[in-house]
Each structure stands twice: as C-alpha cells, then as structure tokens.
Amino acid sequence: MADNAKFSQTVKDGYTFKGESFKIGCAMLDGSVVSGADVLIPMKTLNRHGLIAGATGTGKTKTLQVLAERLSNASIPVLLMDIKGDLSGIAAAGTVNDKITDRCRQLSIEFKPAASPADLLTLSNQKGARLRATVSEFGPVLLSKILGLNDTQGGFVAMIFKYCDDTKLPLLDLKDFIKVLQFVSDEGKAEMEKTYGKISTSSTGTILRKVIELQQQGADVFFGEKSFEVDDLMRISDDGRGMISIVRVTDLQDRPKLFSTFMLQLLAELYASCPEEGDMDKPKLVMFIDEAHLIFQEANDALLQQIETIIKLIRSKGIGIYFCTQNPMDVPASVLAQLGLKIQHALRAFTAADRKVIKQTSENYPETEFYKTEDLITQLGTGEALVTILNEKGIPTPLVHCMIRPPQSRMDILTDTEIDVLVSKSKIAAKYNQVIDSQSAYEILTEKLNEAAEKTEEIKKQRQEEKETKATAKKEKGFFDDPTVKSMTRTAGNTIVRSLLGALGLGGRSRRKSLF
C-alpha cells in the first residue's frame, strides 16, 4: 500500500495543472487501476506535437478517437487523416456494452454516448468535400522536392515558374505544367533561352518523366481548382464545439507519393497562412496523421528536412501535429525528438529484431522506479498505454501505465447511407465539389500553338500557290520560245500578211507594175 500511495502521489504531482486540461484515463500499477491517479493532458502544451504508437489491435486508433472528442468538446478544431477508414464513426453516437461499463467503473467516469460534429473530406472521388491545390500554390521549391529533382533540375523548374509568371500563364493543374514543359523544350525554346538562359533537353525529359510518375499515382485529381482554404479546417460548430474534419484517404495506401505530396502541401499552406501566436492557452488546430509511416516511406532527404523544419516551426502558429503509427521507429529521429506527448500501446516481440526495437523504444521514455518499461511494453492490454507528456513548464511528466477511457462516439464506421446524410448536411461540400476548369497555361498555349499552326499552314498554302503560278507561267513562256513554235508562228504570220495585202489589191509584182 505504501508503494500505491507513493505512486498515486507521484501521478498527482506530475499530472496536476493550473490551466485547462482533460482526463484521458487513470494510472495503473501492478495491473490494477489506482484510484484517484487521474492522467490529465494540459491544453497549453498540445501544440508541442505527439506520437501514438502500438501494434495492430492494441487500441491506438480508439485513443486517437478519444483525444479528438476531448479536443472538439474544448472548442478546438481537429483534422483526422483516415487511412484505414475506421474513423468516420466519430460522427455517430456510441453504444453501451459490458466492457465499456466495466472500464468506466474502474476509471470512475460516466459514459455518455455522443456524436461529434464532423465533415468528410476527400482527395479522390470518394464522398465528401474535395481537397485540391494548384501547381502555383505548391511553388517551384516544394514541387521539386516532391519530384525528387536535383539542384539543376530544381533550378529549371524555378525558371519555368518565373516564365509563367512573366507571360501570364496560370499553372493550375499538372496538364498545365506538362504543356509548358513541352512548349519550352520545342516551339518556345528560342524565346525562353533568349531571356532566361540555356535549356537542357535532358533536364526537361527527366522532369517530365517524374511528373508522369506522380500522375500515375492519381495526382491529377488533387491538383486543380477550387483550392481548399485552410480556414475551413478551423471552424466551430453551431453548438460551440470544434469541427472534426475527417480526410478519407483509404484509397491512397498504395500511393504513398500522393499522400506525402498532399500532407507536405497542407503543412506548408498552414504554416504560410497562419499568423504567429506565441504561447496560447490552447491550440487553434490539432492534426492527427494515422499510418504516419506512409509520409516518410517515399520521402527523400530534402523532403524529410522540409517536414522537420515545418514541425519545428508550426507550433508557434498554434498548431499541433500527432503521428499515429505501429512502430515509433517509423518516424525519423529528427522528427521524433520534436514530439512532446507520447502514448505507447503494446508492441509484440516475435523476433530478435522486434526485441531490439522494443529496447530502443523503451529508452525513449523517462526512467521510472515503478515499471520495467522494456518488459511492460509487451504486456500492455488492449486500450492500455504508457503515457508521458510535457507539463505547462515544458518538462516531461512521469511515465505512467494508463488505462485509456473509451470514446463516446461509435467505435465502428458509418454506413453508406449515414455518409450520404453527413455529406448532404456539410456546409463546405457544395463549395468544393463544383468542377472548375479555368483558362490556364494548357488552354493558352494550345490556342497559341494552334494559331501558329494555322498561320504556318496559310503561309505554306500561299507559297504553294505562288509556286504553281510561276510554274504555269514558265511553262507557257517555254511553249512560245520553242523553235518549231516560233517557225510556225512566223509562217502563219506571213500568210496572214500576204492574204491581207492581196485582199487590199496590193499583192504581187505584176500588180505593182501596172500601177505605173
């Protein structure tokens, strides 16, 4: 009991905050919940980012759901990346069962089924408000990083963007960018080289192949208009709760390049659009990225550096980012070091490599006299996790074995009918689902090239006509210059003259004599 009392006091000292906070669960010792040892999370440090990790089936997605509900109830907008498709249930009220009742009893909380205010968003043709961005909004630097270009190729992309700005060629979608690439490497090459410098055909070919590779992952549906406005991610519902925006990306699991493209653009857009806020009592937006390994899976060094930079700086904008993945090692060490909240569900040790990962993972958490972390990670039950957060002074709290509270919303997906109803009630779906194809670089250059082709054809036709006219004239001239034709012409002429003179009575020598 002395250990329990000491443990309880340690938890209370570590998880008592002056500012606003919410309860995520209760601390456990020796496999049992310790009464009164509530595990709270302070609102003030939620912009310090976090990690939710654990093997499949250990409850990490439900933990994510609990956090999203608590944040929404505190009037904090939430953005969820739903890779597996099992987060849409947050928009429907949960149901009571024996397991939930027993867990709520142990945690000394009351279970109140409730749906959270939610909107469905999509990057593809799934149901929901469409998320899009223009190529111009990406900019040359970000686009070059996504395409994995070297410095020379990246410089050429920057040249293309400058050329398009100077010549008023809007770059809205990938077909615009491809059209400009083809134009400056062919018909417009001389024009561009005169102003912007030498163009390498090999560079344009490489860039074109990279863009086509991105197209094959479905990027055409993402690039274009109408661009999504980040302010629509920070809405408050009519009842004062934060809106939960669920981005349905279940069809992008096999297209990691498109997913990482979208994520990096969204982070960059949030960073560029949101003003500096400094220390806030609670964040303006919290983003949860499920199956976060997909972001880093196809990322090159330049892309990782960009992500790390944004993660470091975006917290001052009042935005928190939380990665949800199976293994903490899926997240690069440089990014992992920036994460203040860590919720570690169970890991499984089937191989020597698994045991090595578990040992490394346990070393990422604060030391504790109450647990042997390396062993406990493999013994955690479903819905249990090791938790440590940053307190209001920015100091890590004691590591605790926590039983997580159940979500109040449905722990299952919505039906197709429920999704239809949710989308029909959305205040932003109609705004972004309208198809817009404005005149842009593709149409302008196509029209320009068509006009040039028509002029070329007209000039060609005129030249052909002139050529045919000259040939006819030459042919006619050649006919009268022929000696036979000339002789025949003279003979005919003389005959005509003699006939004429004879008719006038002036022909012949004998006639002239008689006149005298």
| Token pair in block for residue 359 | 């040992």
Q: Stretch 382-411: mean pLDDT, rounded?
A: 93
Helix (H, G, I), strand (E, B) or coil at 318: coil
Local confidence band at 509 (pLDDT 50, 70, 90 cut-offs): very low
CA distance 289 to 83: 9
Local confidence band at 513 (pLDDT 50, 70, 90 cut-offs): very low
| Token pair in block for residue 297 | 């899976």
Q: Which pLDDT value is given to residue 516? A: 35
pTM here is: 0.80
Alpha-carbon distances of 191 from 92, 429, 440, 456, rounded to whole Å: 59, 43, 20, 18
CA distance 288 to 51: 9
Q: What is the pLDDT of residues 448-489, one digit of tens each?
A: 666 656 666 666 777 777 777 777 776 666 555 656 655 665
Local confidence band at 127 (pLDDT 50, 70, 90 cut-offs): confident
CA distance 398 to 7: 10
Q: Which helix (H) or strand (E) holds 180?
A: helix 174-184
DSSP classification of residue 243: P
Closest by CA to 7, choosing from 365, 343, 367, 370, is 370
Q: Which pLDDT value is given to residue 343? A: 95
Helix (H, G, I), strand (E, B) or coil at 247: strand
**Residue 385, beta-bridge partner list:** 402
* Exposure on the CB side of residue 400, measured as CA atoms within 13 A: 32
CA distance 211 to 218: 11
Q: Which pLDDT value is given to residue 476? A: 61
- Which superfamily is assigned to 2-132+247-291+302-432 in CATH? P-loop containing nucleotide triphosphate hydrolases (3.40.50.300)
Q: What is the pLDDT of residues 227-268, one digit of tens each?
A: 888 899 999 999 999 999 999 877 766 677 777 777 778 888
Q: Which pLDDT value is given to residue 487? A: 62
Residue 171 has pLDDT above 70, yes or no: yes
DSSP classification of residue 310: H
Residue 505 has pLDDT above 80, yes or no: no
Residue 419 has pLDDT above 80, yes or no: yes
Q: Which residues lie closer than 8 Å to 202 by C-beta, 6 or more apart?
A: none
Q: Which pLDDT value is given to residue 110? A: 92
The owner of tokens 């408000």 is 129
Local confidence band at 119 (pLDDT 50, 70, 90 cut-offs): very high
| Token pair in block for residue 99 | 């397991």
Local confidence band at 352 (pLDDT 50, 70, 90 cut-offs): confident
CB crowding 305-344: b at 16 or more within 10 Å, else e: ebbbebbeebbbbbbbbbbbbbbbbbbeeebbebbbbbbb
Contact between 293 and 325 (Cβ < 8 Å): yes
Closest by CA to 184, choosing from 211, 218, 207, 216, is 207
| Token pair in block for residue 277 | 């806020």
Average pLDDT over the chain, rounded to an integer:
84
Helix (H, G, I), strand (E, B) or coil at 224: coil
| Token pair in block for residue 360 | 């490394």
